[in-house]
Amino acid sequence: MSSFRFVDLFAGIGGFHATLGAVNGGTLAMASEIDAPAAAIYAQNWNEAPEGDIIPLTEETMAVPEHEVLSAGFPCQPFSKSGFQRGINEARGTLFFNILRILQERKPPVVMLENVRNLAGPRHRETWATIVRLMQEAGYKVSTRPTVFSPHFLPPELGGRPQIRDRVFIMATYVGDPERARALSPNEPLVPRAAVGKWNPDEWDIFKTPIGPEQRPLVQPDHEVVRIDEYRLSEADSYVIDVWADFVARLRNKGVSKLPGFPIWADEFVHLDSLEIGEDVPTWKADFLRKNATFYTEHRDVIDPWLRAHRNLQDLPASRRKLEWQAQSTEALRDTVMHLRPSGLRAKRPTYLPALVAITQTSILGARGRRISPREAARLQGLPDWFGFDGQRDALTYKQLGNGVNVGAASFMLRTHVEQDADLIAETSPATAQAILSAPRNPDEALAEPERLGRAA
C-alpha cells in the first residue's frame, strides 16, 4: 500500500525518482520532462512515461495530481530586478512560478528542489530572497539561507560518491499559515557544506573505494567496459599527455617534489633577465608571467632538453601547451585524473572527480589511458548498474547524467529534512514522515532491488 505519492518535475532521467522510489511506499503520481531523449530513458528505466510539461493547461486547470512530496530540479531563470517589488507577478513567466502554483493548489507536505550552486551566489541574492518569500507566502517553512552540498562529503555507506558536485537544495515543509511559515523558517542552511560525521573526503579512491549495491569501485576493470575502444584516447590526445608526462618525470628525476600550483605555460618560458611586461598588462597576468619566468629560470637545465626532445612543442596546439598541476604529491602524470580543457591539461589526484560536464571534458583515467565510461558516469550520480541507456548515443548519456541530480546527496537531504521536521510533516501526512524515516539510510540498499521501484530487473 502506498505511504505517499510523489511528483517528479523537470525529471531528467529520474535521479529524484531513484531517491523517492527507493523509500518503502513511495509511488510516482506524475513525472514531467520536456526533453524527448531524457524522457525516453526515464520511461525505459522507471516504466513510466513522463508528461511533456508540468502545466500544459489553462489558468483554471491543474494537471498535476494530488501528492505528498514534490521534487524538481528546476531551471533557474534570473528574476527581473525591476519586478522585485511587484509581489507574485515578479515570478510570473518563470518556471519557478509553475512550481509555486502547484504548491499553492496541491499543498504537498514536503518539497525538495535542486538547482545549480550559482543560485546561492551574490549575483542571485534577489532571486533567492524572492523564492524564499513566495514559498513562505504559500505556507512553507523554508530556510532563508541556501543549503549547498556535494556528494563527495558523504561517506560511501550513506550513498556518497567521489564527485565534487555542489548543488543548492531547497527543502520545505507545509505548515499552513504564512505568518507561521515565516516564524518557523530557520536562518541557517539545513546542513553545512562540509563532510558528514567523521568522513574525510580525501579518503576517496576512485580505483579502490567500494560503492553501490554491489560494493564495486567507481572505475570498472577494462574488460567490463562495453565498447572500450570508443573511450580510448586518440593519438593526438595521447601525444599531449606523453609530452607532459615526460615533463613531470624529468622534474621528479631532478628531485622536484612539489610542482607549481599556478598554470604552467610553455609559451611563456623566458629567463627572468629577459622578461618584459608591458604597462597595459593586467596585474593578474603580470603575476602569472613572472611566476612562469621564475620557474623556467630555476629549472631551465631540465626544461630546455625537454623542449628540444619534443620539437619545442610545435606539434601541440596552443591550448595544449599549458599544464595545470592540481595533483599535489602524485608522482607521475599517468597516475592522475586528467581533463583536456580549453585552458590546457589539468591533472588531479585520483580521489574524487569534478562535476560531470560535456563529453569533451569527460575525466581521463591516466592509469587506463581512457575516459570514464557511461557506466562509470552513472555510478558517479548514484545510479545502479541495472540502470540502462539502451540505444542512445553516449554524448546524450553524458549530457543527461551531467544535468541530473545525485541520488546520494538528494537522499541525504530528504532524510535530514524529514528528521528535523518530522512533527510538522506528521500534522498533514504522518505516513510520509514514517515511510521516509524507516527507509535505509543508504539508497544503494534499496536500489539493489529494482522491483521495489516498480521496475523489473
Residues 6+ apart with CB under 8 A from 20: 6, 8, 26, 28, 69, 71, 414
Other CB atoms within a 10 A radius of the CB of residue 396 amount to 17
Counting beta carbons within 10 angstroms of the beta carbon of residue 419, is it exposed (0 to 12), middle (13 to 18) or buried (19 or more)? exposed
Cell 562509470 identifies what position?
376
DSSP 320: G
Please, what is the end-to-end C-alpha distance for the chain in angstroms? Answer: 21
One-letter amino acid at 151 equals P
Could you give the residue ranges of the DSSP H alpha helices within 81-124?
95-106
C-beta of residue 300 within 8 angstroms of C-beta of residue 271 = yes
DSSP 400: H
Counting beta carbons within 10 angstroms of the beta carbon of residue 100, is it exposed (0 to 12), middle (13 to 18) or buried (19 or more)? buried
- Residues paired with 83 in a beta bridge: none
Residues 6+ apart with CB under 8 A from 282: none
One-letter amino acid at 377 equals A
Residues 6+ apart with CB under 8 A from 183: none
Strand pairing report for 163-164 and 216-217: unpaired
Catalytic residues: 76
Residue 406 CA: distances (Å) to CA of 250, 306, 341, 400, 409: 40, 43, 24, 12, 6
Counting beta carbons within 10 angstroms of the beta carbon of residue 327, is it exposed (0 to 12), middle (13 to 18) or buried (19 or more)? buried
